[in-house]
Amino acid sequence: MKKATPLNESTVKRKELTSAPSYSGGGAMELGVFVYRLYRALTYGVSPLLHLHIRWRRLRGLEHCRRWPERFGHPSAVRPPGSLVWFHAVSLGEGMAAIPVIRRCNETKPDLTILMTTTTVSAFEVIKNQLPVGVLHQFAPLDTPVAIDRFLGHWKPNAIIIMENELWPNLIMAASGLLIPLAMLNARMSTKSFNRWSSPLLLPLVSLLLSKFSLIAPLSTLQGMHFQLLHAPPFVINYSGDLKYVVNKFHVSSGTSESIRDLKVELSEMKVWIASSIHRGEEEVILGVHNMLLESHPDSVVIIVPRHPHHGQQIAHKLRKHGHSVALRSQNEKLTSRKTNIYVVDTLGELRELYSVAPIAVIGGSFIPGLTGHNLSEAAAAGCAVITGCHVGHFSHMVKVMQQSNPLSVTQVSTKLELKEAVDLLLSNPEILETHQRASKEVYESLSSCIITNIWNLLNLHIFRGK
């Protein structure tokens, strides 16, 4: 564990050092309170429209068909007696990063009730099978005064632990008013968000919000600098490591499924690579590379795992429309002939098992400008040779640290041709492939050690304080 480093850290760009206006004294606090009151009034006024919006999302299948009232703070479970800690994560990545901390909390403080909230239905469908027995789940309330007050009034949390970057003013100010300790783990802020919060109007507000936290554990030194520049109290910023490195160490698995074992048998005599967490538009890059690889590796197969299952169905439909033979996982379709060399996964929660099928993993969300990458450590933990694009956002820290540990642990490419050459090299040279696989696995093991212990010590010191 390390305390926040001074602002003249060499990793901070001069532009960032000068981008945040300076406020000091009571005037800044008063301005922050004024901006918050405007926000509170605005969110109160648009509450009826948000109600209609959530109903519309429910009709589209984007909200839980029965539990959608939880988004307005209406509970669907009874609060148990005793102390309760609330973990909040928006989507799947943040939720999975919280699981190891929840498990340690459950083991160390068995008398403490744990409530976890997520925003997306897809995150819930995966995370529900990973939560320890007894952990409660609710869908997160919208950041409106009524929903937050209703939620806090029912659950009465003794501490709130927020994952990554959820700075919701009504939640933070209401918790502070009730003297509930707040922590932010794996705290991060994109350059775009940093610039937005640094504006003259929002800087007083974010400074006010960050002053309410008892602990901010950023995922990198640079991220810590972002929070310091936004006037977070330096004494609450503590580094402990990126929780996404330890997701796989605490993953609950019932063993390799029969369908995965069957898939391994089907692919046993083929050269396989997987493209995971693919966003819309990236399939064109992946399929273009696959077509080029077929010229030199006619026995190669690509497994495409889109970020969203519906996208997978669309990819399969489009390929079939153009005469391609595709196997779709949700339909249990087999790779029955040499002509079928594209396997599209349109299911949730199977990525870790699928990494065991392919020795080469291309991580999506990184090949189109505007995307921000995805977690590389899951593939590294499975012993895959890892390749990613250049648009990796806040995952640039993970790429940099892994490459510093061993340059072979992650291969970063900028163009479709570079991706083709990287995959081709690994498919053509078993010894080079094995070296890259071993490098990624060893780096993962090294970087993931001690992170949970560090986080837990920080939580005990700053949040639980003997609870």
Instruction: Quote the CA–CA distance of 412 and 180 in Å, as a whole number.
Output: 43
Instruction: Quote the CA–CA distance of 334 and 343 in Å, as a whole number.
Output: 9
The sheet carrying 271-278 orders its strands as 326-328, 342-344, 300-306, 271-278, 360-363, 385-388, 410-412
Instruction: Quote the CA–CA distance of 346 and 365 in Å, as a whole number.
Output: 17
* List 94, 266, 283, 353, catalytic entry: 94
Length of the chain: 467
Q: Any bridge partners for residue 2, and if so which? A: 239
One-letter amino acid for residue 317 of the chain: H
Q: Which long-range contacts (CB under 8 A, 24 or more apart) does 288-291 make?
A: 288/416, 289/416, 289/419, 289/420, 289/423, 290/341, 290/342
3-state secondary structure of 135: coil
3-state secondary structure of 217: strand
List of E strands, 370-461: 385-388, 410-412
Structure tokens at 50: 């948000």
Instruction: Quote the CA–CA distance of 440 and 431 in Å, as a whole number.
Output: 15
Bridge-based pairing of strands 238-239 and 215-218 is unpaired
List of E strands, 119-175: 136-139, 159-163
3-state secondary structure of 267: coil
Q: Is 218 exposed, middle or buried (0-12, 13-18, 19+ CB in 10 A)?
A: buried
Residues 6+ apart with CB under 8 A from 316: 326, 328, 344, 346
Instruction: Quote the CA–CA distance of 207 and 373 in Å, as a whole number.
Output: 28
Q: Which residue has the tokens 């391994």?
A: 264
Helices then strands, each counted (H, E), the chain: 19, 15
User: Cβ distance 116 to 136 under 8 Å?
Assistant: yes
Instruction: Quote the CA–CA distance of 73 and 51 in Å, as a whole number.
Output: 12
Largest CA distance in the chain: 73
Closest CA to 251 of 399, 394, 98, 360: 98
Residues 6+ apart with CB under 8 A from 61: 121
Instruction: Quote the CA–CA distance of 59 and 242 in Å, as a whole number.
Output: 37
445 is catalytic: no
Active site residues: 94
